[in-house]
Amino acid sequence: MTKDLVHIGCGAGFAGDRKDAGGPVVDTLAKRDGPKYLIFETLAERTLALAQKQKLKDPAKGYSPFLEAYVRPVLERCLAHKIRIVSNFGAANPMGGARKILEIAQELGCRTPRIAVVSGDDLLTVMSEGEIRAHKSIEGLPIGDGIVAANTYIGARPIAEALAGGADIVVVGRTTDPALVLGPLIHEFGWAEDDWDRLAAGTLAGHLLECGAQVTGAYFADPGFKDVPDLAHVGFPVATIGRDGAISVSKANNTGGAVTPASVKEQILYEMHDPSAYLTADVVLDITGVSVAQESDNVVSISGARGKPRPDTLKTTVSFDGGWLGEAEISYAGPNALARAKLARDVIRERCLERGSNAEYRFDIVGLSSTFDGGSAPYPGRPAPAPDGDFRVRAAVSSHSKEVAEDLADEVLSLYCSGPAGGGGFRRNITAQIHTASILVDRNRLAPSVSYCGAET
Amino acid sequence: MTIVLETVRLKLHDIAHGRSGDKGNRSNISVIPYCEDAYPLLLEQVTEAQVLELFAHKGASAVKRYELPNLPALNFVIDDALEGGVNSTLNLDLHGKTLSFMLLAMPVEVPLDRVREFTNGRRG
């Protein structure tokens, strides 16, 4: 019997997404016929460098700190209903993540899963720091000293291979996000390496699912303009993908949220640059011919993805030591609050700048201008705020010296006794920074491989 | 005889929605009309030059507009708009996630007789 439809749900769109989102997705998938998958996307650009640091401290760690929170509530039902899990929560230590899942399965008393571990994304295992540094970064920024991590976005083929090897769960480190979806589709449909239009459709399906509820009404709601029912319980997406590349996106049963052409269009263009050339490790996706249509309530179909041959190079994120970020904040509220906040800002600015440090500073008044502003001039078209409002002064500095970061925070703290009237709610945050740069490496330098742990086939 | 239609000044937000994303020091912002028929108006009024001007105070150096008549939608890619990008900016909003609403605050001139139609698709 041919399997012409594959069902894929998403349980997390980033490291730190809702821990209870996977449950309703699994309930929904369990009722579907045909091959079923649950993906978790848990790696951001900076997450991997933090994970590498964690692994250096403890070789058993370095997988996603949220792995247990995501896997434990759904593992038993996934295994019972043959819902296979594919996730990049391996981060810097996929094998460590796999062992942790085995441990959870044992504690829960469910059958021992067969877990595939995809490795080979760590560029530092095949390239010296010097050779990495010799690459020009895409952003044009120099790669600084103290490389912490260099992980390459590998494609969907190793995931498909892992599934062909009978894995109940696939744990990957750095992979392209859409590969979490494309891998299962390649495995189920046997799409050829040069079947560009099909690979493009699978990549688009992955792009729609990888950000979790961003396609089902979350990060979309704008009251009075784009109303979304029961956002507090927004359902995560469940898509059905056909052998021919037809995509239909819906959401978990008995949840809030909304799947509409508008919500789908926003996610299609999310983090997209040239819509005719969205580069991935597997295919170059062209969405210029894509159209969307509401099929039924909360079901949207997407068609028209086209593909072009995959690039010869793979993107690698290089993470390196970025010094220190110092941040501190204090609030002013009530009568004449704006003037007191401005005075506080001016006092800190004057005192920091007269230190003569060449560090980069920034001073904001939250409620007057902060994120829209460049840190200096007010942004155009800004409505005048009420002078008696509720304002928060924020100062930030980036420096290779921890003392400079702490010094800034101390300046803001000193406003308690030496600043304008009525300042309160001081908070400080001093964090070690990791900077990143992207390079393109010859894809032949990396040889991803699959190994297994847990149950034999 | 030429008929001059009166227009009314609205915020782009009244007739379109969008989302911003980031890659390095580059921001992309989609602009999607609520009503498909408003797409030509966006093409005419939401130009590369205007978006560059809107983001100039943040240090933006170039804007590329991509047109997607099929959806329909526009996609703006703005270089150097993120004060260094997620890992090095001092902005409170590391990713520039709020910036789609800065673009949506831009004024547009909408023909009076089409206001109802162009704002009608909201709550979608």
- A421 part of contact set with chain B, CB < 8 Å: no
> How many angstroms separate the first and last alpha carbons of chain A?
22
Pairing between strand A83-87 and A169-172? parallel
Burial of residue B67 (CB within 10 Å: 0-12, 13-18, 19+) is: middle
* pLDDT for res A356: 81
Closest CA to A172 of A64, A280, A271: A64
Report residue B24 as tokens: 């390095």
Burial of residue A57 (CB within 10 Å: 0-12, 13-18, 19+) is: exposed
Q: How many CA atoms lie within 13 A of A9 on its CB side?
A: 27
Does the distance separating the beta carbons of B91 and A371 come in below 8 Å?
yes
Pairing between strand A169-172 and A299-303? unpaired
CB atoms within 10 A of CB A37: 27
Does the distance separating the beta carbons of A371 and B92 come in below 8 Å?
yes
- A42 part of contact set with chain B, CB < 8 Å: no
Does the distance separating the beta carbons of A46 and B87 come in below 8 Å?
yes
Q: Please count the residues of chain A.
A: 457
Q: Which residues pair with A115 in a beta bridge?
A: A169, A453
**Taking CB atoms and an 8 Å cutoff, what residues of chain B touch A381?**
105-107
- A107 part of contact set with chain B, CB < 8 Å: no
**Taking CB atoms and an 8 Å cutoff, what residues of chain A touch B13?**
225
Judge if ipTM > 0.90. yes
A70 φ, ψ to 5°? -80, -40
- Å from B12 to nearest chain A CA? 12
Pairing between strand A278-279 and A284-286? antiparallel
Question: Rounded distance, CA A41 to CA B57, Å?
Answer: 35
Question: Rounded distance, CA A236 to CA A213, Å?
Answer: 5
- Å from B5 to nearest chain A CA? 26
Pairing between strand A291-296 and A299-303? antiparallel
Q: How many CA atoms lie within 13 A of A106 on its CB side?
A: 8
| Stretch (H or E) spanning B116 | helix B115-120
- A289 part of contact set with chain B, CB < 8 Å: yes
Report residue A263 as tokens: 């919500």
- A432 part of contact set with chain B, CB < 8 Å: no
The single-letter DSSP state of residue B101 is H
CB atoms within 10 A of CB A278: 22
Q: Which residue has the tokens 């295919």?
A: A283
Q: Residue A165 to residues A101, A183, A189, A266: CA-CA distances in angstroms?
A: 18, 13, 15, 36
**DSSP percent split of chain B into helix, strand, coil, nearest 5:** 30, 30, 35
A176 φ, ψ to 5°? -65, 145
* pLDDT for res A1: 40
Question: Rounded distance, CA A318 to CA A138, Å?
Answer: 11
Q: Which residue has the tokens 């150096």?
A: B61
Which residues have CB under 8 Å from A396's CB, separation 6+? A325, A326, A327, A361, A362, A363, A364, A408, B90, B92
- Whether A179 contacts A193, CB under 8 Å: no
- Whether A341 contacts A387, CB under 8 Å: no
Burial of residue B38 (CB within 10 Å: 0-12, 13-18, 19+) is: buried
Three-state SS across chain A? Answer: CCCCEEEEEEEECCCCCCCCCHHHHHHHHHCCCCCEEEEECCCCCCHHHHHHHHHHHCCCCCCCCCHHHHHCCCHHHHHHCCEEEEECCCCCCHHHHHHHHHHHHHHHCCCCCEEEEEECCEHHHCCCHHHHHCCCCCCCCCCCCCEEEEEECECCHHHHHHHHCCCCEEEECCECCCHHHHHHHHHHHCCCCCCHHHHHHHHHHHHHHCCHHHHCCCCCCECCCECCCCHHHECCEEEEEECCCCEEEEECCCCECCCCHHHHHHHHCCCCCCCCCEECCCCEEECCCCEEEEEECCEEEEECCEEECCCCEEEEEEEEEEEEEEEEEEEEECCCHHHHHHHHHHHHHHHHHCCCCCCEEEEEEECCECCCCCCCCCCCCCCCCCCCCEEEEEEEEEECCHHHHHHHHHHHHCHHHHCCCCCEEEEEEEEEEEEEEEEEEEHHHCCCEEEEEECCC
**Taking CB atoms and an 8 Å cutoff, what residues of chain A touch B57?**
373-374, 376-377, 379-380
* pLDDT for res B3: 65
- Å from A288 to nearest chain B CA? 6
Supply the Cα-derived Rg of chain B in whole angstroms.
15
Q: What is the mean pLDDT of each run of 10 residues along chain B (124 residues)?
A: 80 97 93 97 98 93 97 97 86 93 96 93 60
Burial of residue A313 (CB within 10 Å: 0-12, 13-18, 19+) is: middle
Question: Rounded distance, CA A194 to CA A60, Å?
Answer: 39
pTM (2 decimals)?
0.95
Closest CA to B25 of B91, B70, B69: B91
**Per-residue pLDDT for chain A (457 aa), expressed as one digit of tens each?**
447 999 999 999 999 999 999 999 999 999 999 999 999 999 987 788 889 889 989 999 999 999 999 999 999 999 999 999 999 999 999 999 999 999 999 999 999 999 999 999 999 999 999 999 999 998 888 898 889 999 999 999 999 999 999 999 999 999 999 999 999 999 999 999 999 999 999 999 999 999 999 999 999 999 999 999 999 999 999 999 999 999 999 999 999 999 999 999 999 999 999 999 999 999 999 999 999 999 999 999 999 999 999 999 999 999 999 999 999 999 999 999 999 999 999 999 999 999 888 899 999 999 998 998 866 666 667 777 889 999 999 999 999 999 999 999 999 999 999 999 999 999 999 999 998 999 999 999 999 999 999 998 7
